[in-house]
Amino acid sequence: MRRKMVEADTVEAVIGLGPNLFYNSPMEAMILVGNTNKPAERKGKVLFVNGKDDVIDNKGQAYLTQTHVDKLYQAYKDFVDIPHYAKVATTEEIMAFDGNMNINFYVKRDNSDDEVSFVDALQNWEESSKALNLSMQKLFEELSY
């Protein structure tokens, strides 16, 4: 069904929201915006918005503030790429994923805090290898007694 919807160009936007927005449902919510009469500039395209971080969780009950709603609506209205938040994908890009409309395929997370340079990674690996070798030597010494 999802492939048919993408092929027919009836999906305008997929907006992901966080979990616990609905009573007794821990699943993440999603808004699928369908439109059989898309404006010319949106034909053959689908907007993906990752609004999972816009949800506030308060003791297991989540909600959106008006600021979050406005931010989601503005992203939908603007229909442009916003790094780590929104991505306009073509029908061809979506079909390359067999019509899968999982937002994580299109909107990439910001991992800049997790990035490590190659030199640092190599140095960490070498230090860890030395520490492992020392601990293995100690283990073998203990076992040989």
**pLDDT tens for the 145 residues of the chain, in order:** 889 999 999 999 999 998 888 877 788 889 999 999 999 999 999 999 999 988 888 877 788 999 999 999 999 999 999 999 999 999 999 999 999 999 999 998 776 666 778 888 888 889 999 999 999 998 888 887 7
Looking at the whole model, is its pTM more than 0.75? Answer: no
Structure-block tokens of residue 11: 């999906």
Contacts of residue 73, Cβ cutoff 8 Å, sequence gap at least 6 = none
> 67-89: string of b/e by CB count within 10 Å (b at 16+)?
ebeebbeebbeebeebeebbbbb
